[in-house]
Structure 1
Amino acid sequence: MDTLSDLLRRAGATDARVRQLIQRPPWSMTYADPPALTVFATFGGPAMLRLEDVPAVPPTRLAAGDIALVAHSARHTISDDLATPPQVLIRGGRKQLLGGSRAQAVMEGRLAPRTWGDGLPGATRVLRGMFQLRGEAGRRLLAMLPPLAVIPAGPRTGAALDLLAGEAARDEPGQDAVLNRSLDLVLVLALRSWCASIGPADPSWYAALTDPSIGTALDQLHTDPARPWTVAELAEVAGMSRAAFAARFARLVGQPPMAYLTDWRMTLAADLLREEAATTVAAAARAVGYQDAFAFSVAFKRAKGVSPSRWGREEDPVAAEAAVR
């Protein structure tokens, strides 16, 4: 499995929800304590996105077909105009209507499954997809992303958005599976487009994934993380000399090959210990390539700050937060 697909799968990024608003201006929605990763897209009409808790990111206008990825934000607002006061506050999965009775009536109108608004000519359609990430793999994915990434409209993302918007208004057998996979497709296409638009230097992780040699080595590490890899073996997989491979890997990934492998193993072990109640420290050690449970425990404590046994007893704060939403 390729590296990005593996990370998305382990982060639980397909555990998704989709909602849409079809509304004439003025309209405004504020989201407090939203999920870790949110996708916004617009279909015609004005839309302004503001991250209220990230002042370094200026308000951003979304054109028709644009996609915005929002991470690291605990409160943000999307509206037709910055001057429009919020009409709806979404907190803990609950909708609180704000403003006068007219605004409340409009924002409460249900047009179809997962779809609200007035649906009248001149309306803006706003699509929102929410990913509830989990565990250390989820944190690792979030660490790769800025608070806001905007992907301009394009033919590939446009086709995926049209499919997602159409399915969001349906309620047929297998609907959750269709929506999860459609939103997953939008996310992957958006990540590809965004990373390609800002060039190979930033973010370095995407340059590493798309590098023919280093990308191949990363894929092998994710496919078989428990294998007793050496730098020489990874260099052979990449088709490079040992020294050239080690230098290129460190430059693109940001850390040496063996340090990356250790970090990834500790990520996998951390999620195993919390998500699988029956997983012992010895079993977690073997699953990520350690035959010696003591050596694993030392490496784990160095990476996570606590012993693996204590880690397994503690509740994941991200999962606990998600459970109440």
Structure 2
Amino acid sequence: MDVLSDLLHRAHASDALVRQLIQRPPWSLTFADAPPLTLVATLGGHAFLGLGSGPPVRLAAGDIALIKVPGYTIADDPATAPQVVIRGGRKYPLTGTAEVSARAPRTYGDGAPGATTMLRGAYELHGVAAERLLAMLPPSAVVPAGPRTRAALDLLATEVGRDEPGQDAVLRRVLDLVLVLALRAWCAAAEAPPAWFRALDDAGVGEALRLLHAEPARRWTVAALAARAGLSRAAFAARFARLVGEPPLTYLTGWRMTLAADLLRDTEDSVAAVAKAVGYEDPFAFSVAFKRHRGASPSDWRRGRLTS
């Protein structure tokens, strides 16, 4: 499994809420308690995204914004005062404006001429794997319109207004497609993409990353990875460290600790069982490594996560 697919899978980035918003100027919506990751796409017209600090960002038709801050505003113009606050899944008018009403399944707004049409997908992410996924993004990442993302957005727009058997499953899968395409496009164009993303273009290092994510509990050695990558041990170690930013076994240990942290939170498995699941036969060695990475012993981490 490749790195991005593994992160998305383990962050449980699949249980998403999809809505279409059709707003006629002047309009302004404030999302006060957004989930960890939100995808906003402008299908027609334009919108301005404001995060509370810095200048608003204009979203043209076909643009996609990936947002990881809990509060933001979307409006037709930066000067438009907020009209509706959305908090806890409910809409609260601020200026005497009528509450945004539903006009079709999962579609809200009046649909009058001149309106801006947007799609919004909200992801409830999960665990330390989600933290690693979100760490690759700035507070908001804007992906300009492109032929691949536009085709996926058109499909999502077609499906969002339907109400047929299995519709929620269809919407989640199409939204996932849009998300992956947007993440790919942003990483490819970013000035400072995640190091592992650049490394995927290297045949040898990319293969090593795939192996580490496919079998994280295996007793990997640098020599074994180098052999699978078709490189000498020294050449592989140097290339991996240069492209990924850390040695291969350091990367592996960090990923194992991510997996262990989520296992401790999500299962009742013993510390010894969790240690074995991520490649440690000795629970003591695992506990030492875990505390070094997470700042708490496995047992203390579990207690803290369960009570937080």
User: Which runs of no fewer than 5 residues in structure 2 stay unpaired?
Assistant: none
Secondary structure of 1:108's aligned partner: coil
Question: Which residue in the other structure is 2:297 paired with?
Answer: 307
Q: Structure 1 residues 258-267 or 15-24, which shifts more?
A: 15-24
Aligned residue number for residue 285 of structure 2: 295
**8 Å contact kept, 2:136–2:193:** no
**1:170 matches 2:170:** no
Q: Within 1, Cα distance between the matches of 2:55 and 2:232?
A: 45
CA separation in 2, counterparts of 1:32 and 1:242? 51
Matched, 1:248 2:244: no
Contact 2:37–2:67 at 8 Å: present in 1 too?
yes
3-state DSSP class of the match of 2:113?
Answer: coil
- Please state if 1:30 is matched with 2:30: yes
Residue 253 (structure 2) aligns with: 262
1:253-292: CA deviation from partner (whole Å, max 9, x where unpaired): 121111110010011011011111x211010001001000
Q: Give the stretch that moved more between structures: 283-292 or 201-210.
A: 201-210
| Structure 1 stretch displaced more, 25-34 or 166-175 | 166-175
Following superposition, the deviation at residue 133 of structure 1 comes to 0.7
Which residue does 2:205 correspond to in 1? 214
Alpha carbons 1:226, 1:289 under 8 Å: kept = yes
Output one character per residue of 1:2-30: Cα deviation in whole Å (capped at 9) or x when no partner.
Answer: 22111100001111111121121111111
CA distance in 1 between partners of 2:131 and 2:243 (Å): 20
Deviations 1:169-211 (A, max 9, x none): 1222212211111111001001111122236x53323102232
SS in 1 for 2:73: strand
For 1:189, the equivalent position in structure 2 comes to 181
Match of 1:59 in 2: 56
Residue 70 of structure 1 aligns to which amino acid in structure 2?
I
After superposition, the Cα gap between the structure-2 partners of 1:219 and 1:229, relative to the gap in structure 1 and judged at 3 Å, is same
> Within 5 Å, which residues of 2 pair with 1:1-325?
1-52=1-52, 55=53, 57-71=54-68, 73-100=69-96, 103-104=97-98, 107-198=99-190, 202-276=193-267, 278-315=268-305
Contact 1:20 1:115 in 2 (8 A): yes
Per-residue deviation at 1:144? 0.9
- C-alpha contact 1:35 1:132 (8 A) present in aligned 2: yes
TM-score between both structures, scaled by the size of structure 2: 0.96
Q: Distance in 2 between matches of 1:191 and 1:259?
A: 25
AA at the equivalent of 1:279: D
Provide the C-alpha distance between the structure 2 equivalents of 1:230 and 1:253, rounded to a whole number of angstroms: 17
Gaps of 5+ in 1: 321-325
Contact 1:12 1:134 in 2 (8 A): yes
% of aligned pairs identical? Answer: 67
TM-score (norm 1): 0.91
Give the deviation of 1:114 after TM superposition.
1.4
Contact preservation (8 Å) 2:149, 2:178: yes
Distance 1:126 1:249, change over 3 A: same
| Maintained 8 Å contact 1:13/1:131 | yes
Q: Which amino acid aligns with 1:312?
A: R
TM-superposed CA distance for 1:92, in Å, is 2.2
Distance in 2, Cα, partners of 1:173 & 1:78: 32
Counterpart residue number, 1:323: none
Structure 1 residues 115 and 2, CA gap change in structure 2 (3 angstroms): same
Question: Are 2:49 and 2:74, in contact at CA under 8 Å, matched by a contact in 1?
Answer: yes
8 Å CA contact 2:13–2:124 kept in 1: the answer is yes
* Count of aligned pairs between the two proteins: 308
Cα distance in structure 2, aligned partners of 1:202 and 1:294:
36
CA distance in 2, matches of 1:182, 1:26: 30
User: How far apart are 1:93 and its partner, in Å?
Assistant: 2.1
User: Shift in Å at residue 75 of structure 1?
Assistant: 1.3
CA distance in 2, matches of 1:212, 1:174: 39
Q: Measure, in 2, the Cα distance between the counterparts of 1:174 and 1:279.
A: 34
Alpha-carbon distance in structure 2 between the residues aligned to 1:91 and 1:316: 25
